[in-house]
Amino acid sequence: MDQYKNFGVEDFVWDQFFRQWILAPNRENDLLWNVWLAENPGSVRVVNEARQVVLSLGTKEAELSDREIRDAVNKTIARIHEPLEEDFSTFDRPIPFYRATWFQIAASVAIFIIAGLSWKSYRSQMQLASDTIQVEAPVSPPALAVRMIEKVNSGNKSILVQLEDHSEITLKPGSSIRYAEPFTGPTREVYLLGEAFFDIAKDPDRPFMVYANELVTKVLGTSFTIKAYPSSKEVTVEVKTGRVSVFAKSDPELQAKLTRRELQGIILSPNQKIIFERDVVRMEKTLVERPEIVLPKSKIPHFQFEDTPASEVFASIGNAYGIEIIYDEELLKGCPLTASLDNQPLHEKLSIICKAMEATYEVLDGQIIIHSRGCRN
């Protein structure tokens, strides 16, 4: 970097390498420039002035809100879904065959290229991941015999991915996962882009971790769905069975929470769902759209109620769906219920009950709250 010794402000301002350091500093260029400045204290003043110039000199741009971008993108996507004109007969165009060949070629080319690229990007991203997670972890990184595998689903059907620990991942179209095989170290880690359903084999000694956008999901053995499309404003985690804990990647205590064996962070139980709003970095716990019964088939009760006290009704339903139902016992004391509720989904059951009891309900923080003024009879 000798040439920089005689640089004036005007030279630094138009030097590509210098600009990169100012506008996109990373560990390497930061180190390099700081060492150079330490050796050349005479240049500190000039560098400082050049830095202010580079930072402050931008271009005047028209205002454009994120909302406007979203609207334009949505409008365009709506237009690509418009059907093309269909005034040619199918006989003239052997579409299925042609399309299949084209698709296979495109898919194989894509996979080939992605495999090559992913090795490169994996290495840089693993670097990133270890930056954020293992700040001072004494565990040395796996050095050899670990293959990094990337599965990309570029088709239009879900695919099943089986891991060596017998966990199964159902990968939705347009999604991809990355993981090491075999898993080494104290945890099993998977990186997700897009949407997938995870059925994770129990192994309490080796927690299973999914990194998806800004969220980290940690489980011991359970099944759940994560949606983390890069373009989406939300990341969601929905639990089917078992319990999972969810953290933001930005959590300052992330490292500690991940290494401890017990689950911390926001704990989700079956039928609960977390929505992470990426814009505002806010997590909201709620219920999945269609909660399912969590009890084994043999233990599912009949939801046949005849003059049954409200407390029993709610206990039976709450237990079946693994969801806490909160209500004022005193107020609902005189509200026996007669109903047959075997075939309705949860929300319908609750609506019917609430109608009968002149109550309303809401989902709050993954629980169900019943609001009522009591019954008249």
Residues that bind another protein (CB under 8 A): 8-11, 13-14, 16, 19, 22-25, 30, 49, 52-53, 55-64, 68-70, 72-73, 75-77, 79-80, 102, 106-107, 109-110, 113-114, 117, 120-121, 124, 154, 173-174, 194, 229-231
CA distance 162 to 251: 30
Burial label for 56, CB within 10 Å (0-12, 13-18, 19+), is: exposed
Measured from the CB atom, the residue of 112 and 299 that comes closer to another protein is 112
Measured from the CB atom, the residue of 250 and 304 that comes closer to another protein is 250
Measured from the CB atom, the residue of 104 and 304 that comes closer to another protein is 104
Backbone angles phi, psi at 361, to 5 degrees: -135, 155
Backbone angles phi, psi at 235, to 5 degrees: -120, 130
DSSP code, position 288: -
CB of residue 65 to another protein, shortest distance in Å: 9
CB of residue 140 to another protein, shortest distance in Å: 27
CB of residue 240 to another protein, shortest distance in Å: 23
Measured from the CB atom, the residue of 119 and 261 that comes closer to another protein is 119
CB of residue 120 to another protein, shortest distance in Å: 7
CB of residue 146 to another protein, shortest distance in Å: 21
Residue for token pair 């600009």: 19
Q: What is the DSSP string of 298-348?
A: GGPPP-EEEEE-HHHHHHHHHHHHT--EE--TTTTTT--EEEE-SSS-HHH
Contacts of 326 (CB under 8 A, 6+ apart): 367, 368, 369, 370
Measured from the CB atom, the residue of 9 and 363 that comes closer to another protein is 9
Measured from the CB atom, the residue of 43 and 272 that comes closer to another protein is 43
The DSSP H or E segment spanning 189 is strand 188-199
CB of residue 264 to another protein, shortest distance in Å: 27
Which tokens in the block code for residue 232?
């989406």
